[in-house]
Structure formats: structure tokens, C-alpha cells
A and B are shown apart, each in its own frame.
Chain A
Amino acid sequence: MRINGVEIVDTFAEAFPMHGARVRVTAVNDRWTRQAALAATGFATSVIGCGIEAGIEGASPETPDGRPGLDCLFFGMSRDALEKQLLKRIGQAIMTAPTSACFDGGLPECPDQEPETLPIGGKIRYFGDGHQSSKVIDGRRYWRIPVMEGEFVIDESFATAKGVGGGNFMILAQSDEAALAAAEAAVAAIGAVRGVILPFPGGIVRSGSQVGSRYAFLPASTNIAFCPTIRGRVPGTVLPRGVNSVLEIVIDGLTPEVVAEATRLGVLAACRDGVVQITAGNYGGKLGKHHFHLCRLLS
């Protein structure tokens, strides 16, 4: 298949089930909302090295306290892992930001799943050292934790659901400028899809990885098949002639459907001048439950 002269490889992206939660951050204005959200979702690019994958989904459609809000999605390999990371990140990054509050953003995209919750506010409340108190409003319990600036308000529990992590596609381009421009266009297009995040910096990965390495202590290493600078000495290279730069888009989402839609929009936007080929990463279909076939999504 070709779109705008760009070859779409007949392959699929292989993705995995992950546990997700939506955290709604509010603060007195946009600046401090973004500061808190950025801090909470920072260093959360890959579960391999960070223990969690997270990103800012976009502006909250509404907030309990009527203030500016941003929705952040967090994905962990298990509910326990997700809970541990949320406790750290909300406690250390959101609670510490001036004027912030933190609410469960809910998961309306996952109505078919059994509702499960994590008692995040119910545990962070102990920071109040016995002076914390709660308010139940419309059946929802909010914890009030006294802090030096005033009080931090947080939902007692946060909904979780099984989502999808590791959706991906790779942009193979003639130059690094062309690859970056195409990747930026893809990120902008995916921004219209609610329920997904692109956990890497700016939504783009330059250092995609392969499973394992020749070193026993390293579980993942550079994706040598896609590295142009060693093409001549790697027998398994998959780079066609004329490709000098590759960037990857990694997509985590609350449902397979939103990941598929994000992939479709992203690939379409990335098909532009200077791009030679778009492909996707997989492990032969043996590891991941979710397969996103590029040609099927685009046909």
C-alpha cells in the first residue's frame, strides 16, 4: 500500500494489556495546572526503565472544583505497580504544586469492564499526620490534607481499567528533518483522539528498543535493525536504501479502538514528503495480545 508515495508495510504493531487510570489535575490557573501535570507525568516514558508510562491526555472537559484542569493517563503492567507509581507521583509531584487538587477522571471509555478502584487518596491522606479530614459530597469522598499553603484535596479512590500499551509505528525517512516533521505531524493528528497518550518526549521516540541485549544486566537495547549508522554491519537491518533517519510513535490507550484510531490518524499524517516507508514493531505476534495491522487500519 502507498499513501502520498509513502510505502505502508504490510505488518502489524504488537501491543500489550496494561492497567490504566485517568488523573484529573486542577489548579488556580493553566500555568500551575500544567506544572503539576508535567511533573507527575515526567520520567514515565517506558515501563522498562520508569515503572510506568504516562502522559497528558488533554484539557479536562469539566472539573469538580470548576478550575482549569488537565487529564493525565497512567499505565502500569499491574494494578499494584500502577498504585505504587500513582502514590509517588501524586504525592510528590501534584500535592507539592501550589494550589493543586487531584481528582479521578473516570473511565467512561471502558463501560464493559468490572469497575475496580485504587485507594490513592485514601493512602495519601496519611500525610496529614492525623489532621486530615474528609468530605463526602454526592456520594464521593474527598480527602482534605492540610499543607503549608492551605489544603490539598484529592479523591479517595481512582478507577482503573485494562488498557493497551505499546501501540506503535515507525517513520523511515530520507533525513532527520523529514522524519521529525512527519512525526510532529503525526503527534498533532493523534492529539485529537481522547483516551490515548504518547508517553515519550513530545510523543516521539528516537531510540526504539529491542528485547534483550548481549549484556546480562540489560533487559533491552537499541533497536539495531532500525539504526541507520550501523546498517552496513548489521545483517538483520530492515532499512531500505535511502533511509537515513527513523522515528517511532508509541501509543498507549484505554481501549484497542482508540489505539487503532490514533494509529490510523498518525500514519496518515506522517505520509508526507521525505518519508520513504512506515512500518510497525512486533514480536511475531507471540507476545502481545493486541495486533494493529497498518494496512487494514488504513484501507
Chain B
Amino acid sequence: MHTHVKLTLRTPPDLPVDAQSLIPESFVGKDQADIGALPLLLGNRSVTVADFFDVAILPADPGDGRTEEAREGGTLHLCGDLSRFKHIGEQMACGRVVVDGSVGSHAGAFMTGGALDVNGEAGDYLGAHMSGGRITVRGSAGHFVGAAYRGYVFGMTGGSICIHGDAGHMVGARLRRGLVAVGGSCGDLAAYGMRAGTVLIGGKSRVRAGANMVRGTVILLTPPEAIMPTFRYNCVYCPGFWPILHASLAGLGLDFPGVSPQAVFESYSGDINEGGRGEILLCRNAN
């Protein structure tokens, strides 16, 4: 039987809380008191989980147990507005974190496995530097989704991030591997300096998508105002992998009405300034 722990937010904090301990690995084999004593950082002061949450250890949820992640590492269920809780799910390697509410910045950063499901909004640096696992955000996310922290060459190096709402600037900046899919719109410089991998934007993307990208694929399902002049037109075709990716995204609950598995894309190679080995695929027959 897998562990299923539920934390219900009792007292919203006034200051940001560093919640690095809120990962399934921290809870396995612990009783209610041990879990309540797990450390958090409120501003620069040490506090405990019990200071903010009601702790409950539940019988295994058969629904959660169906997922591979939950079977392997247990389920951590967080309830409440956690938008001031940073680093939730950071460095998690297995198990499943479900948040009924919003999360703060750096959620799922450095993840290597498992699943983080946010039924709300997410802050900046969602999944930054993650190398494995799966993040799903039902609402919108902030800036730098799957991106690299300042000073780093590579951002996300594996796994997938699926955002049903909108995202901010620099989605997938310096992405090295993996998938970032945004159902809604995104800000400036999506896939900036991307090394490889896939960034998909369902809605409108603002200026300079794919700027300085070296390799990888940027898929734009809604035409942007302009493609950067450092991208060169190739052709119109249906990429062979698109039906596979389309089915995969549908499995994650991300549907794009009007964009079929046989959709046709305009293909552009770029950024020429970086060797031109990347590509932008611009959906032609959406809606």
C-alpha cells in the first residue's frame, strides 16, 4: 500500500515560505507527529509543517494508486492557497504531489522523477532545471517555465511540463531536453537560447519566439505577429512526429480544438545566428 498524506493549509503565511521539504520522499514511513515536525523556512526563521497545516495520513486512494508515480513513491496531497510556498516538489524523484490550489515559485525545480499536479496557478521558474518526471498545471504559470537559472547554460534537461493556461516570458529558455507545452498564450522570448527539446505554445506567443535557439523545435499553434528574420522558410508539411505528440498531449488532458493529428505546419529553420539547426513549426490550418 502506498503512502497518502494530506496537508490542509490552516494559516496562510504573511511571508514567503521555503517549502523544499514538501516532497513525497520526506513523508514515507513517518507518522503524523514526524510529518508535522518537518522543517519549513518562513522568511529567515525555522518553522514546522504543523505550524501551517493540518496533517492527515489517509488510506491509499485507489485512484491515485493507479498512477505509476503514486505506486512507486506515495502521494502528497496539499490543499489551500500555497502561492507563498516556494520550492514545492523541488528535487522530487518519485511519487506524486497533488496541489488543490496555487503554488509559488520554483515548484518542481530540479525534479528528477514523479509527478506534480497543480490544480491552480504556478509561480516563476516552474520546473526549472528539471531532468525527469511530469508537471501539470491546470491554471497559468509565471515566467521562466523550465528555464535555466541565471548563469547556467542549460535549463530543463528532461521530463515534461504541461500548462493548461497561460505562461509568462522566457518559457523553456535554454531548454536542453524535454517538453514544455502551454495551452494558452505566453510572453516574450519563448524558447530563448534553446539547445534542444520541444516547446509548444497553443495560444498567441509574444515577440521573438525561438530567439538564439540552437536546436530543438518550437511549435506555434497560433500564428504570431511575426517570425524573427533570423529564421528561414523551409516548406509546408505534416511532421511525422506530430500525430504522436498530439496523442501524448491529449493523454495529458491538453486538447487543441481545431488542430488535428494531421495538421499541416509551415517549417522554418533558425536561429541562423546560432547555426540554423533549430526549427519553428507554425500551424497552418488551426481553426
Contacts and interface: CB of A to CB of B under 8 A. Distances in A.
Given A66-B243, A136-B177, 10 more contacts: A65-B243, A66-B247, A66-B261, A135-B217, A135-B244, A137-B179, A137-B241, A137-B244, A153-B241, A153-B244
Given A133-B215, A135-B198, A144 B241 contact: yes
Contacts, number: 49
Nearest to A150: B237
B285 interface: no
Top-8 shortest CB links A-B: A153-B240, A65-B243, A135-B241, A150-B237, A64-B244, A137-B248, A66-B243, A151-B240
A154 to B, nearest CB: 9
Chain A contact residues, majority secondary structure: strand
B177 A144 contact: no
A138 interface: yes
B237 A65 contact: no
Contacts of A101: 240
A142 interface: yes
B4 to A, nearest CB: 25
B contacts with A: majority SS? mixed
A144 B215 contact: no
**Most chain B CB within a 10 A radius of its CB, from A66, A135, A138:** A135
Contacts of B251: 138
A64 B244 CA distance: 6
B243 A142 contact: no
Nearest to B242: A65
Contacts of A135: 198, 217, 241, 244-245
B39 interface: no
Contacts of A67: 243
Nearest to B217: A135
A152 interface: yes
B239 interface: yes
Interface in A40-66: 64-66
